Amino acid sequence: MQDFWFRVSLPVVFSTLAALLLWGIFSATLALLFMVVVLLIVMAHRARQLFKLEQWLNDARIETIPEAGGIWEEAFSQLYKMVKRHNQTKQELADELQHMEQATAALPEGVAILNEVNRLEWFNPVAQQHFDLDAEHDIMQDITYLVRQPEFVEYIQESNFNNPLMMRPARHDDMVLSIKLIPYGVNKRLLISRDITQFERVEAMRRDFVANVSHELRTPLTVVSGFVENLQDMSDLGQDSARRALHLMAEQTRRMDNLVADLLTLSRLENVQSPLHEETVDMKELLNEVYRDGELLSGAKHPLRMEIASAANLLGNRDELRSAFSNLLSNAIRYTPEGGAILLRWFERGGQPVFLVQDSGIGIAAQHIPRLTERFYRVDRSRSRETGGTGLGLAIVKHIAMRHQAKLEVSSEEGKGSTFALVFPIKRVLH
């Protein structure tokens, strides 16, 4: 800093001394003239340097930095260092960015960044391939204009961060994508897409296998159970042991028949290709039917009550809803000892319609509750078998709930009873 002021003041001091000398020897006019000439030269020199600086700033490259002397040399050298540092940082950032781009390009998943109004800020090559995007023209376009399948548009607009969406892209319908939205930063979202075609194929094979086995079993079973029933009806069947054997055979074939029926129901519900056939379901009528079935099953062994506190009807599939409600009610009856009370309720909670079955039966210990909807998961194997259970009832209920975007809530206390509730979304209510 001191050096700077010394360099700036040196020509001023020299020219003032020279002017004073001229004044002393010659005249004041000459001294003044000398000062004016000196000032003009200094100004011209500064103007030239400023001009060079301005020209350089228009295209600030390190190779073209102007050369200068005096105090300008210092300023230009500082500028040179600054530009060098800036270039270095720029290069480092560009390298980092390239690394990131290479890493995301190598990801087997599609990654796209959406802003708060669903516009595409960036995407990797896999996302480009999954959604048929154009790297040049589709940046900052609304993703719901580029991918127009209704389920995808609904998924993006609802910003459902919990569940992935399974979808076949419009232009590659042999491909199955699993799509997930992840929120990050301020109102930004990552759209992750994964090709699950292979996985879906294996799943479909597994489902087909179960469905085929069940179909194949059905015919021989019908034949055998038919014969068993005929034999039981024959009056000349004397021996007690033969009667007992036939009774057991009839019971077991009935069980197998129930099992096959439930397996077929499950594989039909699991099939992604079988869409939900929706209709307006008259809930009062359906609930009365379910209630009557319950009375028959209970055989007047339980005080059965029904409360219909809501007039809401549902948009859904009647047969599936009936199957779900009946399964819950049949469980309540089967797992409640004689005399225990059972309540059926249809009501609204915060606008959401709820179907609820409450029993005062044997209850379920807390550790079993999360696993109840798994296939063949039974808390008490022998009780389930004795009462004709297949171990598939709640798995069926869960699938039907999922197809109706409903939630299955379970609360229970061992020895006191259980409550199973199906909570439907408001959008399914019809009045």
- Answer whether 231's CB lies under 8 Å from 249's CB: no
Rank residues 391 and 425 by Cβ distance to ligand ADP and give the closer one: 391
Rank residues 246 and 260 by Cβ distance to ligand ADP and give the closer one: 260
Q: Beta 304-308 vs 342-349: how paired, if at all?
A: parallel
Rg from Cα positions in the chain: 42
- Answer whether 368's CB lies under 8 Å from 395's CB: no
The least CB distance from residue 369 to ligand ADP, in Å, is 9
- Answer whether 114's CB lies under 8 Å from 188's CB: yes
The single-letter DSSP state of residue 66 is P
Contact residues for ligand ADP, defined by CB under 6 A: 331-332, 335, 359, 361-364, 372, 377-380, 384, 389-395, 418
Rank residues 214 and 331 by Cβ distance to ligand ADP and give the closer one: 331
Which residues fall within 8 angstroms of residue 215, CB to CB, at 6 or more apart? 264
The least CB distance from residue 260 to ligand ADP, in Å, is 14
Rank residues 192 and 364 by Cβ distance to ligand ADP and give the closer one: 364
Rank residues 398 and 403 by Cβ distance to ligand ADP and give the closer one: 398
Q: Please give the full DSSP string across 370-383, using - where no structure is assigned.
A: GGTTSTT--SSHHH
- Cα gap 399→81, rounded to integer Å: 68
Count the neighbouring beta carbons within 10 Å of the beta carbon of residue 401.
22
Question: Nearest Cα to 421, choosing from 336, 345, 364, 365?
Answer: 345
The least CB distance from residue 371 to ligand ADP, in Å, is 9
Rank residues 228 and 364 by Cβ distance to ligand ADP and give the closer one: 364
Rank residues 142 and 380 by Cβ distance to ligand ADP and give the closer one: 380
- Answer whether 314's CB lies under 8 Å from 353's CB: yes
Sign of CA dihedral 421, 422, 427, 430: negative
Phi, psi of 413 (to 5 degrees): -135, 130
The least CB distance from residue 414 to ligand ADP, in Å, is 9
The least CB distance from residue 367 to ligand ADP, in Å, is 12
Residue 87: both structure tokens together? 């270039």
The least CB distance from residue 396 to ligand ADP, in Å, is 8
The least CB distance from residue 333 to ligand ADP, in Å, is 8
- Answer whether 419's CB lies under 8 Å from 356's CB: yes
Q: What share of the chain is helix, strand, coil (3-state, %, to 5)?
A: 55, 15, 25
Rank residues 49 and 327 by Cβ distance to ligand ADP and give the closer one: 327
The least CB distance from residue 380 to ligand ADP, in Å, is 5
